[in-house]
């Protein structure tokens, strides 16, 4: 499905996914076409919010497992129930961009637009949360001021008006591990090179005698522990935290179900 300002253009969703650390719960606000949610590996629990009925109906037809979609203001969720999200949860936000930052600032493209007052409310809510957050947008003085100190990644994306610089703000450091490695690489050519390399190494390891294969995997795990990467003692502790955090997530859905249109 396509959507104005969506992240379906070549390389855009992949760039965003390549900045996502491992997470147990994934929340996408301002769902729209949901290009990122559809492209990424699902988390254990996934939630989508949008005020427009169209995106919610579209995702009802897709029937994504372990996911809940609400026709509700995402900012209101951030101000109330998002407080329950643990640090192992990730919120991705793709709000209607600041009007003054657009190529045609006087042209409204969405059923539900956001004023600068709305953007300030949204950013204040984001700044108050403890979970991991990604925010897409065009550079603007408003976002630069309110998100000062957040990590910023800039990249070029093709829009209906031509190439435009996209910004991705994050409240966490550069990931040492990723939730989804399938799109690793700066561009299509590099992603294909990494995929071919991964396939070759996987085939070589699979062809080894069992004990030799296990010895190699054991050595790789030990090296990962020494380097503090995935599989390290710190990561093991984090997995324990995640399993504990998972037990609190269904309460969010339970609390929303009576009042909102819930499509599973």
* % residues pLDDT > 90 (the chain): 38
Residue-range domain boundaries for the chain: 12-180, 188-243
Q: Cβ neighbours of residue 14 under 8 Å, at least 6 residues apart? A: 39, 183, 185, 191
Average pLDDT over residues 108-121: 82
Separation between Cα atoms, residue 168 and residue 172, nearest integer Å: 12
* Predicted confidence (pLDDT) at residue 50 exceeds the cutoff of 80: yes
Q: Tell me the two tokens of residue 165.
A: 């610089």
Q: What whole-number distance in Å separates Cα of residue 92 and Cα of residue 245?
A: 19
* Rounded (10°) angle between helices 188-207 and 210-227: 130
* Reported pTM: 0.76
Q: Measure the CA angle with vertex 150, ends 246 and 8; round to 5°.
A: 70
On whether the 12-180 domain is CATH 3.40.50.150, my answer is yes
* CB-side neighbour CA atoms (13 Å) of 71: 13
Find which of 156-165, 198-207, 233-242 is predicted with most confidence, using mean pLDDT.
Answer: 198-207
Q: pLDDT at residue 5 above 70?
A: no
């Amino acid at each position: 499905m396509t959507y104005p300002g969506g992240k379906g253009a070549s390389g855009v969703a992949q760039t965003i996914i390549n900045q996502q650390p491992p997470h147990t719960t994934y929340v996408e606000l301002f769902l729209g076409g949901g290009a990122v949610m559809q492209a990424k590996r699902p988390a254990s629990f996934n939630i989508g919010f949008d005020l427009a009925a169209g995106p919610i109906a579209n995702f009802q037809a897709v029937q994504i497992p372990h996911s809940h979609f609400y026709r509700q203001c995402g900012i209101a969720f951030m101000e109330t129930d998002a407080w329950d999200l643990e640090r192992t949860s990730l919120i991705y936000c793709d709000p209607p961009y600041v009007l003054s930052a657009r190529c045609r600032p006087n042209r409204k493209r969405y059923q539900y637009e956001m004023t600068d007052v709305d953007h300030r409310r949204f950013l204040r809510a984001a700044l108050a949360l403890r979970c991991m957050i990604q925010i897409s947008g065009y550079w603007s003085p408003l976002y630069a001021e309110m998100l000062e100190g957040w990590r910023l990644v800039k990249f070029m994306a093709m829009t209906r008006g031509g190439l435009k610089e996209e910004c991705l703000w994050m409240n966490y450091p550069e990931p040492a591990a990723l939730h989804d490695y399938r799109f690793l690489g700066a561009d299509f050519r590099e992603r294909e090179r990494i995929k071919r390399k991964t396939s070759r190494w996987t085939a070589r390891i699979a062809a080894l005698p069992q004990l030799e294969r296990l010895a190699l995997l054991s050595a790789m795990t030990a090296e990962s522990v020494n380097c503090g990467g995935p599989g390290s003692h710190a990561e093991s502790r984090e997995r324990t935290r995640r399993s504990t955090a998972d037990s609190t997530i269904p309460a969010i859905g339970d609390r929303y179900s009576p009042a909102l249109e819930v499509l599973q």
